[in-house]
Structure 1
Amino acid sequence: MLISGGKRGLKGAPFRVVTGHGKFVLPFFRKTRFLTLAMHEAEITESCVTRQGIVLTVRAVIAFKVGNDNESIVNAGQRFLSEQHQMTVLTGRIFSGHLRSIIGSMTVEEIVTERQKLATEVLATSKTEMGKIGLIVDSFQIQSIDDGDTGYIEAMSRPHKAAVQRQAKIAEAQAAQAAAEAQQEANRNQAEYERQTAVVRASYQSEVDRAQAEAAQAGPLAQANSQREVLAARTELAERAAQLRQQELVAEVVKPAEAEAERIKTLALAEAERTKIQAEAAASYDRVALDQLLIDQLPQIVKEAATGLSRANVNVLNGADGLGEIAAGLVGQGLTILDTVKQNLHGTDGANGTPPEAPASAPTPAPQPRRSDDGPVPLA
């Protein structure tokens, strides 16, 4: 907002500047006008001659606006406040002059290849003039460069086109080769994949066939295993039955036979012991009977001895005592004979049943009766 009348503005400007807020203005005494601070756009199309004398048609676009500072606003207001559309016209003219000047110092090759450099130089040379009128440029862009019918740019571009085409063909050939190699690699990979797939499929099929064969054999194998188990069970049952029968036979035959043999043996031993006892008893009885017989015969033996003595011519010197001694001698002789007979009859060798050997010393002979011519009989 530009307020004119009354007090002057900055540096003697004919108006005061108000931006970003309102202001109280006395009517009839002050005049208020507005200057836009929005962005403006200007397009230029200029025929320029290069340093080589080649005419080029250049199209460009300029983006500009009034500066935000009070000095720029005052400068722009003094020039464009009444006719603000003239800012676009004046800006176009300024940039057109500087564009022709800079293109005239450059070659077509430089302009075409260094377009950004051209725009930067034009913008730098125009900045000072634009600041004097209160405008600032945000951007300057060259849209197109055309040489008309001369064909210079076209001829200039042919080597590059040829190189580009050559590079394009090379790149295309390389791309085709790479594509072919990639296709071959893909085919190899596909073949390898198919081979691996076939191997895996064959392995799976082999496993399936083996599983099916095992499944087909499972029934007979299971039946054979079952029959084998049944036979094993029957064999074990038969062995147990045989063992049981053997135990029964042992219990029914062997044990009774052993018991009977033991009984017979015991009875035989008992009978032998009884016979032995009876034999011993009988032997003892015979000895007793023999002894009794000998004892019974002893008087007869003594008698016979006495008979013999009566026939002898015996003189008894010591009377009754001498006679008793003779009798005692006869009796002792009889007893000795009795013992000898008993030993011959009863005494045997335990080993071979032979009679025992004769005693080491002969029995003492009975005293002989003395005759009358032997002298007197000694007294006992």
Structure 2
Amino acid sequence: MFGYRVPQGDQAMLILGGRGGATAPFKVVTGHGAFVVPVFRKVQFLTLSLFESEVEEPCVTKQGIALTVKAVIAAKVGNDTESIVNAAQRFLSDQRQMPTLTGRIFAGHLRSIIGSMTVEEIITERQKLAMEVLDGSKEEMAKMGLIVDALQIQGIDDGGLGYVKAMAAPHNARIQQQAQIAQASADQAAAEAQQESLRQQAKYERDTAITQAGYAAETQAAQAKAAQAGPLSQAQSQQEVINAQTELAQRQASLREEQLVAEVIKPAQADAERLRIMAKAEAERTRIQAEAAASSNRVALDQALIAQLPQIVEKAAMGLSGAKVTMLNGSDGLSDMISGLASQGVAIFDALRGEVGSEKPQDGPAMPEPKGIAGKGCVNERTNG
């Protein structure tokens, strides 16, 4: 629209030629537009944007040490009408002067404040230095309609004197010492950790080797036992066979011994006992014949023979009393044995009578051999006591 003007967001529109405010020769418009009558009114714009001012100023400290201080100031025109009016009255015709003049103002205050501080304070308390500079320049900046958003001390240089470096040397040495101590501690801890790791690894390797050796020993023992199981089983089987054969041989030997006793020794003992009994009977017959011949009494002889017959049988029985008799067929064997003894007694009696009846004594015929003195089904055994 014709005659209607609008300032930008970072500008203040100044309308000249009309009725201004009580303290300003122009009307200030910000944030909205306004009608400007051509020819009768004139419009100018004042920037409200932020500007930067750099300061590099040689200063002398309280100790007399020359320092070069670098600082950066960020400032702008205030947003209120008073600040805009003050800034417009000073910089409207040449707004580029605002950074230059701001830098000079701060340079003066910087020299003044550094002159009241030591190098140690300047280095260690930079924030305090910046705050004092801001406080010292605030009034002057307000008169120019400017406000400071930030002040930053960028660097402090002693011009090669080495004071700052020397001042930092103890701290650097202490820091380096602490760093070396920390590094040594770290190295020691790392070495201890490495040694502990090696010990643990060696321990694990030892335990593993012991366990493996134990397993290997158990495996070898099991393998050896398994390898010996066959021969041991075979040896045990052979031993059992040998034991069975030995027992069988012993039984066969015992049986053979019993057969030998039954077939050879016992019959021989029975024959010997028979011959002994016969010899005794012969001797008794001879004695009786002699007595009969002396008496020439046949009846007496018969009576004598009859009287002696029980003794003969008794003698025969006594001869068998010390013998071991084995019955082969029970009570029948016993009856046969008793009948045999009686028959032998009668035979002896008949023989004696026949011999006595002859004219002179002579060797008579052999007495009939007793029919099995032990009887049928028995075996005689005699043990000489």
Q: Which residue of 1 aligns with 2:190?
A: 179
Counterpart residue type for residue 34 of structure 2: K
DSSP 3-state at the match of 1:12:
coil
Residues in 2 aligned to 1:123 and 1:197: alpha-carbon distance in whole angstroms: 75
For residues 241-293 of structure 1, the C-alpha deviation after alignment (integer angstroms, 9 at most, x for no partner) is xxxxxxxxxxxxxxxxxxxxxxxxxxxxxxxxxxxxxxxxxxxxxxxxxxxxx
Does 2:182 match 1:168? Answer: no
Residues in 1 aligned to 2:107 and 2:179: alpha-carbon distance in whole angstroms: 39
- Match for residue 109 of structure 1 among 120, 123, 129: 120
**Structure 1 unaligned residues grouped into runs of 5+:** 217-380
Deviates more, 1:190-199 or 1:129-138: 190-199
Q: Which residue of 2 aligns with 1:16?
A: 27
Counterpart residue type for residue 190 of structure 2: A
Q: Which residue of 2 aligns with 1:38?
A: 49
Residues in 1 aligned to 2:45 and 2:208: alpha-carbon distance in whole angstroms: 83
Residues in 2 aligned to 1:120 and 1:196: alpha-carbon distance in whole angstroms: 70
Q: 1:186 offset after TM fit, Å?
A: 3.2
Q: Which residue of 2 aligns with 1:49?
A: 60
Q: Which residue of 1 aligns with 2:129?
A: 118
Change (3 A) 1:8 1:168: same
Q: Which residue of 1 aligns with 2:18?
A: 6
Normalising to structure 2: TM-score of the pair? Answer: 0.50
Q: Which residue of 1 aligns with 2:357?
A: none
Q: Which residue of 1 aligns with 2:81?
A: 70
Q: Which residue of 2 aligns with 1:61?
A: 72
Residues in 1 aligned to 2:206 and 2:105: alpha-carbon distance in whole angstroms: 77
Change (3 A) 1:19 1:174: same
Residues in 2 aligned to 1:157 and 1:165: alpha-carbon distance in whole angstroms: 12
For residues 337-376 of structure 1, the C-alpha deviation after alignment (integer angstroms, 9 at most, x for no partner) is xxxxxxxxxxxxxxxxxxxxxxxxxxxxxxxxxxxxxxxx
Normalising to structure 1: TM-score of the pair? Answer: 0.51
For residues 208-267 of structure 1, the C-alpha deviation after alignment (integer angstroms, 9 at most, x for no partner) is x79x99xx9xxxxxxxxxxxxxxxxxxxxxxxxxxxxxxxxxxxxxxxxxxxxxxxxxxx
Q: 1:193 offset after TM fit, Å?
A: 5.5
Residues in 1 aligned to 2:33 and 2:155: alpha-carbon distance in whole angstroms: 45
Q: Which residue of 2 aligns with 1:99?
A: 110
Residues in 2 aligned to 1:100 and 1:145: alpha-carbon distance in whole angstroms: 13
Q: Which residue of 2 aligns with 1:328?
A: none
Structure number having the greater strand percentage:
2
Change (3 A) 1:195 1:4: farther
Q: 1:165 offset after TM fit, Å?
A: 2.2
Counterpart residue type for residue 96 of structure 1: A
Question: CA RMSD of the aligned region, Å?
Answer: 2.8
Q: Which residue of 1 aligns with 2:280?
A: none
Residues in 1 aligned to 2:76 and 2:210: alpha-carbon distance in whole angstroms: 77
**Structure 2 unaligned residues grouped into runs of 5+:** 1-12, 227-385
Structure 2 matches for 1:144-163, cutoff 5 A? 144-163=155-174
Change (3 A) 1:27 1:196: farther
For residues 57-78 of structure 1, the C-alpha deviation after alignment (integer angstroms, 9 at most, x for no partner) is 0001111111111111111111
